[in-house]
Structure 1
C-alpha cells in the first residue's frame, strides 16, 4: 500500500452571484442552487418547461383563430406549445455573459425566440393585498418580521389593506440582519409560504398567497361587499318594506338608509336617528369611530356606541332599527322604547335573509402577493450587447416579458420594471443569494428577426429540441487553475 494520502478534492469556485462560493465536492453553495458534482459545477433545479395545451383543459380566451383552427388569446406565450421558463435556468452574472438559454421554436410559421435567465434582484420586493376591513395599521406604519423592519403599510384599497415589503433600502440599506430577514421574508412569500408580520402600533398578520389572512389570531372569512354607503344602495329595496332605519357601520363611509338618496327614492321617511361622525353627503358619514378589528373595520364592539340620542321631534316608539357591518358578519336589531332608547329584539326572518344576502355577496378574503422587480444591466446584457434596445423593444410591444411563464405587467416610464402574481408561477420559482437578493425568473419572447435586429446574441440561439434534455446540466465556472484572488483574470470553462 502507498504511504501517500489520497489527495483531498479541490473546491471549485461558483460565479453565479457576487458571493463567489468555494464549493467542496458533493456540497452546494450558500444559495442551494449550485453544487460541486465530481469537480464540475451543476445546477440543482431542473429547467422548468410549461407544456399546457388546449386539449388538456387550458382554454384560451376566444379572440381569433390561428392556423390550426385553435382560439388564440393574443399572447406571444401561447398555451398550446412548450414554453421555456427561466425557473432553473441559471444566471448571467457577472453580467457580460449571454443568457443561459436562448431558445428558438416555430409558431405558426413564425420563428420565435425566448431568452431566459434567473435574475439576481437587489431592487425588488412584493406588494401584498390583504382582503379585510380589519385595521392592521395606519398608512406608512413600519411592517416587521422577526422584529426587523421589512416594509410599510401602503394606501388602503377598496376592501383591502396593502403592504409594500422589501426593496433595496431594506435589503442593503440597513443592518445585515435586516437584509437577511427581508430576503427570507420575500423568498417565503414569493414561494407561497406563510409569514407572520407585525405592524408597529397595529396588528399581527399571517400572510400567505392565496390563503385567508389571519389577523391577531383570527382567520378572516369575507371581503366586504362595499362601503356602508354602497351597501345601502345595493340592499335598500330589500330593507325598505321591513324596517324603518338601517345603519351600515364602516370605518370609511358609514351609511344611513333614511338620509341616503336610495332611501329617499324609496320613500323612506326621516327617523330622527342620529350618529356620531363627520357628515359628508346625505346618508354618508366619515369617522364614526376609531379604526380597529370590530364592526366594519372600526373599534366598535357595541354598535349603539356610535348613536347620539334620537331626535324626539321625529323618532317614535316602536321604530325598527337594523345595524349591520359591511360583511354581514355582525348585525343587531333594535326597537325604540317609550323613552326612544333602542332595545335589542330578535331579528325578523325577512331581515335575516337580507343580512345573509350581504354575506353571500362578499368574496372570500384572501392574500395576494405580487413580485415586483427591475430588470437591470445583467438581465438586459444577457439578451443583447446594446441593452437599451431591449428596453425599447419591450416598450414597443415587440418583446413579451413573463416571469416563470406568468404574464408580467410592465410599468410605464423608464427601464423594465415588472410585476407578476406569484400564484401564476410554477412552485418554488424563486431562490436567493446571500448578498442578499432574490433570484427570480424572467423571460423575453420575440420574433427571431426582431431579436437579430436589436443586436441579440444570435450565435447562442438553440432549437428547443436541443434544450429539452434530462442530462445533468453542467454550468460554466471559474477556471480553478486561475488565480482565485484575481478579480479580472478569470478564464471560463464552457458547460455542456
Structure 2
C-alpha cells in the first residue's frame, strides 16, 4: 500500500500517496515501494497501481491515465445537471426528453430548471435513484468505467416504468453521457416502452459538441513537502525567523524555479506541480524519503535581519560557472578542453 483514494470532484479522482505512514510507518518493503513510486511520479515517469476493489491504472504526470489497459480520452464537461444547463437550448425542439447519465448528478431535461425555462412538457420519464432537486438525481448507479463514470453499460437500466399519466407513444428520448462519447436514442411504443430509433443529425451534432467541450483527460502530480528544521538551519542561525519571513512574504519560496504554494499554518509546507519543474528534479535518501529542490529568495538586508549566514554569501558569477552550465550534444565525442567548438561558457542551453 502506497496511499489511498481520498475524494473526487466532477469525476476527477484524487489519490493521496506517500506520507510517513507508508514511508516509515510500515515494513521496509512498503517504505521502499512507496519511495520508488513517488520518485518516479515526481520525475514524470509512469507508475502502475491497483486500487483495492477497483481498477488497475498507469499514472504519469501530464499523460492520460490508463485504466484497465485503456487510455482515458476526455474529462466530463460537467455533471449531468450542468450538461443540461449548457445544452438545453440546443436540444429544444429536437427531442422531448434528455437524460444525462452521471455518477455524481444525473440530469433530466424536462424536470430541470433549464427545461422549465423552455416551457417543456413534463415527459413522465422516471429515473432510479435519489431525487435531489427538480431534474437532478443522485445514486442512479454504482461508480464504474461505463456511462458518465457509472457501472452502466445499458442506459435503460436506470429507468423506471414511464408515468402513464404523462408519457405518450412516440415520445422522443435521448440518453447521453457527460462526455458525449456514449449516447442512445429511443422512441416510446404504444406500451410506453423505449425502442431504439435512428438519431437525428441535430442531436448527433450536440453529442459531438459535448465531446468537443470536454478537457483532455490527464494526470496531475502535485508534490507536497516540508522544509524541516535542519534545512532552515542551513539558511539562518535562528530557523523560526525564516518561517516568519516566508509567512510575512519577505521571502519567496520556489521549487526548482517553479512557483510553489505555501500552505497556511505552522512551518514551511509547500506544494508544486511537477510539470513546472525541471526534468529529474527529485532524488531520495535511504530513510526512505524524497528530496526536492527548494529555494528561498529575499533581499540581502532581509537575509541579514533574520540571522542569515551572510559571511557565506557568494557572488552569482562565482557560483554559476561555465563548468556547471555546460550542455553537450548526445553522441558527440567532446574534448573537455575544447570549449569554443562546443559553445561551452556561452550559456548554450
Secondary structure at the counterpart of residue 163 of structure 2: coil
Note if 1:347 corresponds to 2:199. yes
Structure 1, 364-373 or 427-436: larger mean CA deviation: 427-436
Alignment of 1:42-191 (within 5 A): 149-191=1-43
**5+ unaligned residues in a row in structure 2: which ranges?**
326-349
Q: What CA distance in whole angstroms lies between the structure 2 residues aligned with 1:360 and 1:212?
A: 17
Secondary structure at the counterpart of residue 222 of structure 2: strand
Deviation at 1:377, TM superposition (A): 0.9
What's the C-alpha RMSD, in Å, of the aligned pairs?
Answer: 1.0
Q: What CA distance in whole angstroms lies between the structure 2 residues aligned with 1:433 and 1:461?
A: 27
Q: Indicate the residue corresponding to 2:88 in structure 1.
A: 236
Q: Give TM-score, length-normalised by structure 2.
A: 0.92
Q: Give TM-score, length-normalised by structure 1.
A: 0.65
Cα deviations by residue, 1:78-108 (Å, 9 ceiling, x for unpaired): xxxxxxxxxxxxxxxxxxxxxxxxxxxxxxx
Give the count of matched residue pairs.
325
Secondary structure at the counterpart of residue 262 of structure 1: helix
Secondary structure at the counterpart of residue 221 of structure 2: strand
Correspondence for 2:211 among 344, 359, 371: 359
Note if 1:466 corresponds to 2:307. no
Correspondence for 2:178 among 326, 329, 339: 326
Deviation at 1:224, TM superposition (A): 0.4
Secondary structure at the counterpart of residue 154 of structure 1: strand
Check 1:368–1:472 CA distance in 2 against 1; reply closer, same or farther (3 A cut): closer
Deviation at 1:470, TM superposition (A): 3.9
Note if 1:304 corresponds to 2:304. no
Deviation at 1:471, TM superposition (A): 4.2
Deviation at 1:472, TM superposition (A): 7.6
Q: What CA distance in whole angstroms lies between the structure 1 residues aligned with 2:37 and 2:316?
A: 35
CA contact (8 A) 2:102 2:150 kept: yes
Cα deviations by residue, 1:401-449 (Å, 9 ceiling, x for unpaired): 0000001000001100000000000000001112211111000000000
Secondary structure at the counterpart of residue 314 of structure 2: strand
Q: Indicate the residue corresponding to 1:338 in structure 2.
A: 190
Q: What CA distance in whole angstroms lies between the structure 1 residues aligned with 2:98 and 2:46?
A: 39
Q: What CA distance in whole angstroms lies between the structure 2 residues aligned with 1:291 and 1:414?
A: 38
Secondary structure at the counterpart of residue 294 of structure 2: strand
Q: What CA distance in whole angstroms lies between the structure 2 residues aligned with 1:179 and 1:470?
A: 39
Q: What CA distance in whole angstroms lies between the structure 2 residues aligned with 1:315 and 1:157?
A: 34
Q: Indicate the residue corresponding to 2:342 in structure 1.
A: none
Q: Indicate the residue corresponding to 1:369 in structure 2.
A: 221
Q: What CA distance in whole angstroms lies between the structure 2 residues aligned with 1:447 and 1:369?
A: 32
Q: Which runs of 4+ in 1 moved over 2 A?
A: 470-473
Q: Indicate the residue corresponding to 1:292 in structure 2.
A: 144
Deviation at 1:158, TM superposition (A): 2.5
- The structure richer in strand per residue is 1
Q: Indicate the residue corresponding to 1:49 in structure 2.
A: none
Q: Indicate the residue corresponding to 1:227 in structure 2.
A: 79
Deviation at 1:159, TM superposition (A): 3.0
Cα deviations by residue, 1:448-488 (Å, 9 ceiling, x for unpaired): 00000000000111111001124489xxxxxxxxxxxxxxx
Deviation at 1:155, TM superposition (A): 1.5
Alignment of 1:421-460 (within 5 A): 421-460=273-312
Alignment of 1:268-287 (within 5 A): 268-287=120-139
CA contact (8 A) 2:98 2:108 kept: yes
Q: What CA distance in whole angstroms lies between the structure 2 residues aligned with 1:274 and 1:472?
A: 69
Deviation at 1:324, TM superposition (A): 0.2
Note if 1:209 corresponds to 2:64. no
Secondary structure at the counterpart of residue 155 of structure 1: strand
Deviation at 1:266, TM superposition (A): 0.3
Secondary structure at the counterpart of residue 174 of structure 2: strand
Q: What CA distance in whole angstroms lies between the structure 1 residues aligned with 2:80 and 2:307?
A: 57
Q: Indicate the residue corresponding to 1:317 in structure 2.
A: 169
Deviation at 1:252, TM superposition (A): 1.0
Cα deviations by residue, 1:184-225 (Å, 9 ceiling, x for unpaired): 000000000000011111111110000000111110000000
Correspondence for 2:244 among 392, 406, 416: 392
Correspondence for 1:247 among 84, 88, 99: 99
